[in-house]
Each structure stands twice: as C-alpha cells, then as structure tokens.
C-alpha cells in the first residue's frame, strides 16, 4: 500500500472511530453502564467521567426508567423471535440485530441502544462509500465527517430506534444502484439485490425508493433495451429471494404481505383524532386524506418532501460553530441543484425523493427528527460536492477552460429544464398551494394563522419590515401608516380574528395602557378599533368579529392602521392573525 492510500485509510478510520466515540459517550451518559462484560463496563466508566475529545456542549440528560415506544417493542420482539422471517408487524432486521446484541450483553435492555449505535456508526462508513463512488474520496470523507460529529445524529443514534439502520439501508442502496449504473455486471446486480432486500427487511416502505431507482436504471443504463433486463432481473430475483419469505409469512399469517406497512395506518388515523373502527390500509389512508382535504394534503406533502426534512437539520453543528450549519445548508441547496446535471446526482435525487414519500403526508402528526434522518447523508454529500466544485472552479486553469468552452446543446437544455422545474416548484409551493390550503382549512371549520413565516410572505403587502426575532417570537414591524395583509377567505360569512400585536416602539412603562389605537378594516370597510395594551411578558391579543358584509369570497385585504390620540401615525409589532369561521347563530 502506497503512502497516499495509507493516509486516506487512516483519515477514514479516524473519522469513523471518532464518530463511534461520540456515540459511545452519548449512550453511556444517557442510559448508564452495562453490568457485564467487565471490560465494557470499565470502558464506559472511564469515558463517563471526562469530556475529553468532545465539545463541552455535547451533554445528555440521564434517561430515567425503562425503554418506551419502539425501542421497547424491539426488545420484546427480539426476545420472542424464533425465526428471522417470522410474521410480525415489525420488519425483522433491526429486531434481529437487537437479539444479537442481547446475547452479547447477557440480555440487558441497553442492548437495543448498542444495536442502534452499531448502525449509526455503519452509516458514517456508508456515507463515505456513496460519496466516493458518486464523486470522489474527499467529498465522501467530508460528508462522513459531518455526519460523525453532528449532535442530533449522535444523540438519536443511541436511542434504540431502527432509523439509523434505515439510514444505512437507503445510503447503501444508492451506493449499490450507482455501482450498477457504472457497471451493470451480474455481481453488482446481485449486490444491489441483497442491499435492497436488507432495506425492505428494515422497513418495507423502502419500496418507495427502490422501485423508482430501478425505473431510473431502466432508462439510464448504457445498454440496449433487451440487455438492460438481465441485470435488473438479477437484482429483483435476489431481493425477492432474500426478502420474500418474510412477505409470504405475513401473507399466510395476517392475510396481507404488506402488513408491516398497513398496520400503522390506524396509528396515524388515531393521531388525527379519527374514530378507528375498521382497519384501513396505507393506500386507503392516503387516498382518503387526498379526497377529504386535497389542497391541505398537497401542501403537507410538498413541505414533507422539501422544506421540512431540510430545515429541521443543521442545528446539530452549533456545538462546533454557530455558522457551520448555515454554511453547509446553503452549500447543500447549491449541491442538490448541481446534482441535476450529472447522472450520479440524478440517481441520488431519485433515491432521496422516493425515501421521503412515506413520511410526506404524516410528518405533521408525528414529527420526530428521526423520521427524515436518512436524508441527512444526501444533504451532506450535496454540501461537500458543492464545496469541492467551487474550489475546482476557482482554479485559474479551470476558469480559462470554461471561458473557452462552448457548452453542448443537450447540456444547456438539461440545465434550463432543471432551472424551470425548480422555479415552478417554488412558485407552486409558495404561491399557488398555501392560500388554497388555507381556504380549504377554514371551510372545514378549523383555524388558520397568518404570520411572519417563510411561506406566509405572499399574504403581506407593502408597509411591513422583514421578519425579525426577539426572544422566542418572530414578528414584523409596520413601516408605514397602513400595514396590509391579504387573507384567503373561502366564503362570505362571519369570521372571528385574533390579532397578536404590540405597540412599536414599546412604551417605557411596564403594564401601561398605550395612548394609541389600531383601526382595523377589511376591504376598506371598518370592522373594529382596539386600544393597544403593553405587557413585556406577553404579546397583546385582540379579538374581533368580522361581519359577512365586509367579506368577499377569495382574496380579502386586511388593513391595520395605528395612530395616537393626536392622529399621528405609529408602528405595530405584529406576530400573527388567527382566523376561524364564526359559530352559526
């Protein structure tokens, strides 16, 4: 082995080892030490008394009591498991890993945390493999390092959940499919089938990204149409051979090969407050959701595929640097767009999008961070790919090459189509869907809030500042005499509005009654007048009933105009307005 390869191997082992150390510390401080074996207990005790080799902000509260929720059920199933392929509402791979861990740790409950720790560390290596295969060594190493040190990934990685195993399965599936794309040999096809089976035996919902990825390969493989069927047939055959027995046993026992998916539909129905009387399959639940509230479902799905899984990441880098997560997130956005221009990137986008589908409609019901953690490696790979390409682009030789290079027509068409698609998606998400979803929600008799949030920008007219944060509240400040919002009210009827606002600037005296009034009008018709109160501990709340005579179906202009007793205009610190239909008399 030459010196360069030895150095790279050493760097990779250091990254994986450090990620394992952080997770080992998190497990010890959260769940305590094992009773046996003695060597492991001694190692835990030595690490539990020191903060060496980790940031001071890497702290965890001690878990009190026994495991609950899914980790508890994994322990039960692992102890009861008599056959790997036994029919059960939990797919067998993670319970089997827990069973192995129980045997190694003398049947101690903490074994389930060691099982998830194993997969959490394995995901670091899998991220490196995918990055190296798709791009190069340094992109893979950078993404693996980021995943190794991210606080949320470390913390969730020892909780006894199967989500780290699923993250491994998604990343390794993308890696195996990429190998097939580059070299569709029988060996690579068989490896892809084995990894696909492991993914299904971790979560049967893996079909949501495996089937689109296989469809992508059908189109993208550099073979004749007939020749493409052979490697894909091998992949499907191996996957069915390894995962099929579990599906068959579920079919024989429960009458449903996809029982592990469908059994959870009732959980989401209960979370929505529905009466759960008869069983419902996952497809029936999704179809019912789309038919009952189509715009709200589309809105939830679009957010669940884009904004939600992306924006709930990145804060885990704060213990290292307050700016690191922000920088990586912007790089990730750039990298995800650049993925459109290369075959490997497009395959990663297909896998990423498909893997998010099962959670897109349900994230508002159960929004644990872990449900989208499998997307993190893809975001991090996008970050470091964008960083790498930026560094390469800044080289003088590369700049000269680009200036002299005339892009191919096909490449220009692809980039133009990518830009058009991205722009259309943004318009649909931020302009088309939100007001229709809000109107649909109001029509159903539920309240809707309009505030200083990213997707609510379309409701604010001129006369407002950009959103600013003070304490735990994000607010806008009125900058003119009249501040206006446009509200989508679905029908002409009475509405009740609760406006949360304060005088700006704040009065000097706590608890003072402001000497100013806010005149409220809808569609230029006065509907109320409130005298502002000031409480430094709480933003003011003012309730108004809006008569049907002031309402029109569709877009309605709400105007807030503050003035003092002398009639001079003044500012408002606005949090949100909550609208609901008024009770019928």
Residues 283-299: tens digit of each pLDDT: 777 777 788 889 999 99
What's the pLDDT at 498? 96
pLDDT of residue 367: 77
Tell which wins on pLDDT, 407 or 117: 117
**What is the reported pLDDT for 252?**
95
Q: Which fold has domain 448-581?
A: Jelly Rolls (2.60.120)
Angstrom distance (rounded) from CA 425 to CA 508: 46
Instruction: With a cut of 90, say whether residue 581 has pLDDT above it.
Output: yes
User: What pLDDT sits at residue 570?
Assistant: 74
Express each pLDDT in 15-26 by its tens digit. Answer: 999 999 999 999
Question: What pLDDT score does 332 carry?
Answer: 98
Residues 428-440 have a mean pLDDT of: 92
Q: Are 383 and 332 in contact (CB under 8 A)?
A: yes
Which carries the bigger pLDDT value, residue 480 or residue 362? 362
pLDDT of residue 292: 82
pLDDT at 511: 52
Handedness of CA 274, 276, 282, 288 (dihedral sign): negative
Residues 156, 163: Cα–Cα separation, whole Å: 9
CA pair distance 290, 296, nearest whole angstrom = 8
Q: Given pLDDT bands bounded at 50, 70 and 90, which one contains residue 278?
A: low
Q: For 366-376, how does the pLDDT look when each residue is reduced to its tens digit (9 = 90+)?
A: 778 999 999 99
Q: Over the range 421-433, which residues count as b (16 or more CB within 10 Å of their CB) and which as e?
A: eeeeeeeebbebb
- Cβ neighbours around 464 below 10 Å, total: 21
Overall pTM surpassing 0.75 (yes/no) = yes
Instruction: State the number of CA atoms in the 13 A half-sphere of 5 facing the CB.
Output: 2
**Residue 1: pLDDT band with limits 50, 70, 90:** low
Q: Read off the pLDDT of residues 182-222 as tens digits, 9 standing for 90 and up.
A: 999 999 999 999 999 999 999 999 999 999 999 999 998 88
Using one digit for the tens of pLDDT, what is the confidence trace for 70-101? 999 999 999 999 999 999 999 999 999 999 99
**Per-residue pLDDT, 504:** 85
Query: What length does the chain have?
Result: 585
**pLDDT, position 12:** 96
pLDDT band at 2 (very low <50, low <70, confident <90, very high): confident
Q: If you average pLDDT over residues 396-413, what whole number do you get?
A: 67
Return the pLDDT at 353.
Answer: 97
Q: Distances from the Cα of 314 to the Cαs of 59, 138, 369, 395, in angstroms? A: 18, 20, 12, 29
What secondary structure letter does DSSP report for 159? Answer: S
Confidence of residue 262 (pLDDT cuts 50, 70, 90): confident
Q: Which long-range contacts (C-beta less than 8 Å, at least 24 apart) are formed by 50-55?
A: 53/18, 53/21, 54/21, 54/22, 54/25, 55/319, 55/320
Q: How far is CA 338 from the centre of its chain?
A: 20
Q: Give pLDDT, residue 229.
A: 87
Mean pLDDT value across residues 395-413: 67
Q: What is the pLDDT of residues 127-179, one digit of tens each?
A: 999 999 999 999 999 999 999 999 999 999 999 999 999 999 999 999 999 99
Q: What's the chain's average pLDDT?
A: 89
- Cβ-based burial of 505 (10 A; exposed 0-12, middle 13-18, buried ≥19): exposed
Residue 266: its pLDDT value, please?
Answer: 63
User: From start to end of 334-481, where are the E strands?
Assistant: 448-450, 468-470, 473-477
The whole-number pLDDT of residue 39 equals: 93
pLDDT-derived band at 564 (thresholds 50, 70, 90) equals: low
Q: Flag the least confident range among 267-271, 298-302, 427-431, 510-514.
A: 510-514
Q: Is the pLDDT of residue 404 over 70?
A: no
Which distant-in-sequence residues (6+ apart) come within 8 Å of 296 by Cβ?
437, 440, 441
pLDDT for 537 equals 84
Q: Report, as an integer, the average pLDDT of 446-474.
A: 86
CATH 2.60.120.260 location in the chain: 448-581
Residue 254 has pLDDT above 70, yes or no: yes
Q: Is the pLDDT of residue 121 over 80?
A: yes
Lowest mean pLDDT of 159-163, 282-286, 358-362, 516-520, name the range.
282-286
Q: What is the pLDDT of residue 566?
A: 59
The answer on pLDDT for 56 being more than 70 is yes
User: What pLDDT was estimated at residue 161?
Assistant: 96
- Beta-strand ranges (E) seen in 129-243 are none
pLDDT of res. 395: 72
- Give CA–CA dist 315/478, Å, rounded: 31
Distance CA 62, CA 28 (A): 9
Higher-scoring residue by pLDDT: 351, 573: 351
Angle between helix 343-360 and helix 294-305 axes, rounded to 10 deg: 130
């Amino acid at each position: 082995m030459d010196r360069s390869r030895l150095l790279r191997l050493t760097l990779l082992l250091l990254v994986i080892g450090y990620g394992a150390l952080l997770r080992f510390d998190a497990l010890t401080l959260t769940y305590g030490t094992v009773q046996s074996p003695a060597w492991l207990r001694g190692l835990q005790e030595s690490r539990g008394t020191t903060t060496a080799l980790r940031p001071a902000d890497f702290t965890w509260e001690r878990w009190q009591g026994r495991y609950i929720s899914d980790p508890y059920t994994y322990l039960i199933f692992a102890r009861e498991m008599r056959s790997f392929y036994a029919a059960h509402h939990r797919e067998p791979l993670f319970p089997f890993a827990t069973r192995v861990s129980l045997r190694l740790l003398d049947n101690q409950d903490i074994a389930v945390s060691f099982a998830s720790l194993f997969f959490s560390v394995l995901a670091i290596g899998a991220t490196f493999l995918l990055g190296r295969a798709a791009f190069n060594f340094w992109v893979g190493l950078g993404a693996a390092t980021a995943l190794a040190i991210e606080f949320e990934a470390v913390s969730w990685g020892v909780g006894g959940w199967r989500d780290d195993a699923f993250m491994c399965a998604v990343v390794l599936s993308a890696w195996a499919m990429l190998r097939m794309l580059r070299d569709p040999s029988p060996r690579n096809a068989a490896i892809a089938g084995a990894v696909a089976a492991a993914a299904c035996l971790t979560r049967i919902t893996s079909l949501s990204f495996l089937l689109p990825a296989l469809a992508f390969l059908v189109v993208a493989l550099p073979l004749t149409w007939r020749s493409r069927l052979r490697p894909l047939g091998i992949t499907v055959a191996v996957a069915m051979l390894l995962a099929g027995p579990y599906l068959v046993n579920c079919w024989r026992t429960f009458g449903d090969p996809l029982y592990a998916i469908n059994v959870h539909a009732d959980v989401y129905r209960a979370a929505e407050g529905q009466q759960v009387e008869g069983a419902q399959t996952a497809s029936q639940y999704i179809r019912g959701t789309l038919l009952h509230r189509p715009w709200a479902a589309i809105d939830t799905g679009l957010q669940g595929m884009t904004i939600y899984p992306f924006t709930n990441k990145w804060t885990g880098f704060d213990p290292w640097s307050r700016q690191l997560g922000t920088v990586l997130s912007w790089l990730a956005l750039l990298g995800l767009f650049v993925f459109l221009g290369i075959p490997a990137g497009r395959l990663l986008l297909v896998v990423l999008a498909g893997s998010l589908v099962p959670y897109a409609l349900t994230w508002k019901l159960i929004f644990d961070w872990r449900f989208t953690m499998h997307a993190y490696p893809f975001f991090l790979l996008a970050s470091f790919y964008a960083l790498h390409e930026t560094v390469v682009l800044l080289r003088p030789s590369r700049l000269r090459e680009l200036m002299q290079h005339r892009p191919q027509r096909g490449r220009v068409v692809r980039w133009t189509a990518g830009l058009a698609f991205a722009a259309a998606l943004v318009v649909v998400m931020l302009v088309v869907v939100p007001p229709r979803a809000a109107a649909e929600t109001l029509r159903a008799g539920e309240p809707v809030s309009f505030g200083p949030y990213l997707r609510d920008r379309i409701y604010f007219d001129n006369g407002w500042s950009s959103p600013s944060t003070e304490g735990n509240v994000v607010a806008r400040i009125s900058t003119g005499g009249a501040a206006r919002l446009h509200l989508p009210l679905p029908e002409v009827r009475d509405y009740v509005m609760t406006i949360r606002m304060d005088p700006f600037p704040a009065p000097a005296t706590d608890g003072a009654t402001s000497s100013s009034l806010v005149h409220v009008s809808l569609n230029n018709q006065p509907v109320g007048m409130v005298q502002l109160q000031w409480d430094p501990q709480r933003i003011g709340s003012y309730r108004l009933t809006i008569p049907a005579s002031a309402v029109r179906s569709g877009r309605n202009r709400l105007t807030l105009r503050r003035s003092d007793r002398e009639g001079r205009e003044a500012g408002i610190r606005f949090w949100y307005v909550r609208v609901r239909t008024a009770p019928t008399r």
